[in-house]
Amino acid sequence: MTDNPRVLIVGAGAIGSFYGAILSRGGAQVEAVSRSDAAVIRERGFRINSHDLGDLSFRPHAVYERVEDVQQPPDFVLLSVKVLDDLDRAALIRPAVGPGTVLVLVENGIDIERPIHDAFPDNPLVSGLAFVAVSRTGQAQSEHKAYGRLVVGEYPSGAGDAAQRFSALLTAGGVECPVSESLVTERWRKAVWNAAFNPVSVIAGGATTTTILDAPRGEGFMVTLMQEVCDVAAAAGHPMPESLPEKSIGGTRKMPPYHNSMALDFLNGRPMEVEAILGNVIRAAQEHGVSVPHLASVYTVTKMLQQRIADEGHPLGV
């Protein structure tokens, strides 16, 4: 690796381009793949306005329409696409992956590393969990509203060299990037909230956190769901503190009412990461023999809603 490592961003949406900007500030040569926005990015780069960090707009060193167009494997591939059933993410990045390429996943969900690890068992795999509020506002244009921390770790575990090198780049760019010895545990911790709140908000018609908690039995139901996720996490070898569900509710109560990411996807007619966020939790429960009747109910109804969209169109007409 040179002093200016090359990072290829695959999935240069709001989150991918935000971390691309930070890596660029940290000294990396950032390249981007974008089928839909390549022309705009070549013309004027990414426009990113940050409330905390000022103007993060930047122009990548290279812009590709397809991963197949990348000539030299980069030092890092940062994959930041939605995890959806019909997208083979390993096949997507394969043309750009060389023998030493470090793969970095900045994506939601549980067990989302497995297919990448299986496809590239000899490449270092860094799993990342983003705590960031950034929204796309147009083609290659986004607004960073708050936070930014990216927690990383090697998959399946460890805080090895690849994670350290990636963390150093991001830290140099001005964003916190702690390295965890057990990133999968961190993923489960995040899943406790996500697997419960995201699908419920959708099947409640695209409801805010506050509407969910204020419904009759709402708060108790969310605690029950989160407790079931904790039971699965513990069975999978990642025990959570007993107080986590109640504390998460307390934290959510302190925030203004908001639509979580899956609710926003639903309300805007975009595909939803149901399998990554909840389906994989259900499968882990089955694998470890954990009873999750409430989570399974939410999962099944969410899949029915997806079936409804496939059979009868989106109920919102979007």
Give the whole-angstrom CA distance, residue 62 versus residue 86: 28
Stretch that binds its own copies, among 5-13, 87-95, 186-194, 208-216 (CB under 8 A): 208-216
Nearer to its own copies, 183 or 305 (CB): 305
269 binds its own copies (CB under 8 A): no
Closest to 99 measured CA to CA, from 133, 65, 74: 74
Please state, as a whole number, how many other Cβ atoms lie within 10 Å of the Cβ of residue 227: 19
178 to each of 121, 158, 181, how far by Cα in Å?
Answer: 24, 13, 10
CA distance 302 to 156: 29
Task: Note whether 309 binds its own copies by CB under 8 A.
Answer: yes
Radius of gyration (C-alpha) of the chain in whole angstroms:
19
Interatomic CA distance for residues 177 and 150, integer angstroms: 5
**Residues 159-162: contacts with CB under 8 Å, at least 24 apart:** 160/124, 161/124, 162/102, 162/124, 162/125, 162/126
Binding string, residues 284-303; x marks residues near its own copies by CB under 8 A? ---------xx-xxxxxx-x
Q: How far is the CB of 19 from its own copies (least distance, A)?
A: 32
Pairing of strands 6-10, 76-79: parallel
End-to-end CA distance of the chain: 46
C-alpha closest to that of 269 among 204, 313, 209: 313
Q: Which stretch binds its own copies (CB under 8 A): 48-56, 57-65, 98-106, 196-204?
A: 196-204
Residue 208 within binding range of its own copies, rule CB under 8 A: yes
**Which residue from 114, 247, 253, 308 is in contact with its own copies, where contact means CB under 8 A?**
308
Side chain identity at 251, as an amino acid letter? G
Q: Which of 133, 159, 215, 235 binds its own copies (CB under 8 A)?
A: 215
Q: Closer to its own copies by CB, 109 or 206: give it.
A: 206
270 touches its own copies by CB under 8 A? no
Contact range with its own copies by CB under 8 A, out of 37-45, 72-80, 239-247, 308-316: 308-316
For its own copies, which residue of 94, 223, 267, 271 counts as binding (CB under 8 A)? 267
User: How near is the Cβ of 257 to its own copies at its closest, in Å?
Assistant: 8
Closest distance to its own copies from the beta carbon of 300 (Å): 4
Contact between 221 and its own copies (CB under 8 A)?
A: yes
Which of 140, 212, 230, 262 contacts its own copies by CB under 8 A?
212
Residue from 204, 254, 256, 258 binding its own copies (CB under 8 A): 204
Residue 305 sits in the site that holds its own copies (CB under 8 A)? yes
E strands, the chain, are 6-10, 29-33, 47-50, 54-55, 62-64, 76-79, 102-106, 125-138, 141-154
**311 is a contact residue toward its own copies (CB under 8 A):** yes
In the bound complex, what is the minimum distance in angstroms from residue 240's beta carbon to its own copies?
21
Check binding of 271 to its own copies (CB under 8 A): no
Q: HSE on the CB side for 110, CA within 13 Å?
A: 27
* Nearest approach, Cβ of residue 232 and its own copies (Å): 16
Please give the residue ranges that form the binding site for its own copies (CB under 8 A). Answer: 200, 203-208, 210-212, 214-218, 221, 267, 293-294, 296-301, 303-309, 311-312, 314-316
